[in-house]
Amino acid sequence: MNRETAWRVFAGEYNDSTLDMSDGGERSPTYVVTPLGAKVNRLFVVGVLTDMENVGTEQGPMWRGRITDPTGTFHIYAGQFQPAAAAAMSKLKPPVFAAVSGKSRVYKPDSGATYVSIRPEIVKVVDANLRDYWVLESCQSLKKRLEAAREAYQMNPPTVGELLKLGCSSSLSAGLVAAVAHYGNVDLSRYSSMLAESLRYLLPEFQESRPPETEEVIKVEEKVAEKAPEKGADDQLEADILALIEQLDKDGKGASWDAILEGAKKHKVDRDKLEELVNVLLDKGLVYEPVLGRMKKI
């Protein structure tokens, strides 16, 4: 059996997935199919590890971690059947940049909800440069799926053969056909915004360290960045709250929520708005919660 390609998919798209499928054979792999047609059996993700805990027992540990990218959070689980990954996860101390290669997993409880996660095969500590390069690769991959989805939505119905003629890979073609049948024509503006925001979030800190092999990705980012929204009031508030959290963290244990709330009043930010801004900072991997009620800048 051929080894499945490890997809570069943002958490925002992956977590929207509610479809799992198999090619039908007895030993055929199972896939999570995203709304844009990524037919995912394996993933490679890089982000900020913000949380790690043993949700099992000392005798039978089950390690659960959270890794954030610019669009959301991946959930990873490793236990006795993934000994190498579990051992690596047990030694990680958040916050760190981490790279994970693993299998897609779906959990569907009786309530009818669908939860996706990653069963890691390899977990390693990396640096910010690799995280940034992964974001660029993921943006390029997302852009291709967006273009393919727009073409598929013009067909009634889309077929693998027609998508192959347009240059889509066999995997993406099959995934898109399945995705349209399951999700319908989704709102592509959500994923276009995800692409633009990821690039806008990344570019200021990546000017000097961009690898030479990313010329094609640079063209993608420049085209999308032209359409990216200008920095607005919320962006400035995010920066203000991030600076406030860093300022209030005097003992290295994080800033208390009460102190952040009091400090936010000077910026005319009420509790509801503060919670919204902090959630954005958490999703972007700029802060994390070391203990309940405290926030710390990464």
211 and 256 share a domain?
no
In three-state form (DSSP H/G/I as H, E/B as E, the rest C), the secondary structure along 79-118 is: CCCCHHHHHHHHCCCCCEEEEEEEEEEEECCCCCCCEEEE
Quickly count: other Cβ atoms within 10 Å of residue 70's Cβ: 23
**CA distance readout (Å), 46 to 136, 225, 253:** 11, 22, 25
Could you tell me if residue 91 is inside a domain?
A: yes
Both 210 and 148 in a single domain?
yes
Note the pLDDT of residue 220: 45
Which of 70-79, 106-115, 187-196, 206-215 shows the lowest per-residue confidence on average (mean pLDDT)? Answer: 206-215
For residues 217 and 146, the model is more confident at 146
Residue 164 inside a domain? The answer is yes
Q: Of 126, 147, 178, at which residue does a domain stop?
A: 126
Q: Which residue has the higher pLDDT, 249 or 226?
A: 249
Q: Do residue 121 and residue 10 come from a single domain?
A: yes
Instruction: Examine the fold and report which residue of 105, 126, 147 is the final residue of a domain before the chain moves on.
Output: 126
Residues 152 and 185 in one domain: yes
**Domain for residue 23, yes or no?**
yes
Return the pLDDT at 232.
Answer: 57
Number of domains in the chain: 3
In this prediction, residues 185-199 reach a mean pLDDT of: 92
CATH, residue 245: 1.10.10.10
What integer pLDDT is reported at residue 98 of this predicted model?
A: 94
Angle at 244 between CA 127 and CA 92, to 5 degrees: 30
Q: Residue 185 — pLDDT band, cuts 50, 70, 90?
A: very high
98 part of a folded domain: yes
Q: What is the pTM of this model?
A: 0.70
In a domain, 1, yes or no: no
Look at residue 11 in the predicted model and tell me its pLDDT.
95
- Verify that 121 and 145 share a domain, yes or no: no
User: Are 11 and 121 contained in the same domain?
Assistant: yes
Specify the pLDDT at position 186: 94
pLDDT value at residue 81? 84
In a domain, 256, yes or no: yes
**Which domain-ending residue is among 90, 109, 126?**
126
- Please state the rounded mean pLDDT for residues 291-296: 76
DSSP-assigned beta bridge partners for residue 44? 101
Mean pLDDT of 11-39: 89
Same domain for 112 and 151? no
Same domain, 10 and 91: yes
Confidence of residue 277 (pLDDT cuts 50, 70, 90): confident
The answer as to whether 166 is a domain residue is yes
What local confidence, expressed as pLDDT, does residue 206 receive? 44
The answer on 151 and 120 residing in a single domain is: no
Asked if residue 217 is part of any domain, the answer here is yes
Q: Give 64-81 pLDDT, tens digit per residue.
A: 999 999 999 999 999 888
Of 8, 27, 247, 253, nearest to 134 (Cα)? 8
CATH (domain of 110): 2.40.50.140
Residue 63 pLDDT > 50: yes
Structural domain of 249: 233-297
Instruction: Specify the pairing of strand 6-7 against strand 42-54.
Output: parallel
pLDDT value at position 150?
95
> Using 50, 70 and 90 to split pLDDT, how confident is the model at 3?
low
What is the mean predicted confidence (pLDDT) over 5-26? 88
- pLDDT of res. 141: 94
Q: Are residues 109 and 40 in the same domain?
A: yes
Task: Give yes or no: residues 112 and 163 share one domain.
Answer: no
Q: List, for residues 84-94, the tens digit of each pLDDT value.
A: 889 999 999 98
Percent of the chain with pLDDT over 90: 46
Residue 286 has pLDDT above 60, yes or no: yes
Comparing 105-109, 188-192, 202-206, which segment has the lowest mean pLDDT? 202-206
- What digits encode the pLDDT tens for the residues 229-244? 444 567 788 888 988 9
d(CA 289, CA 298): 10
Could you tell me if 291 and 254 are in contact, meaning their C-beta atoms sit under 8 angstroms apart? yes
Q: Are residues 141 and 72 in the same domain?
A: no
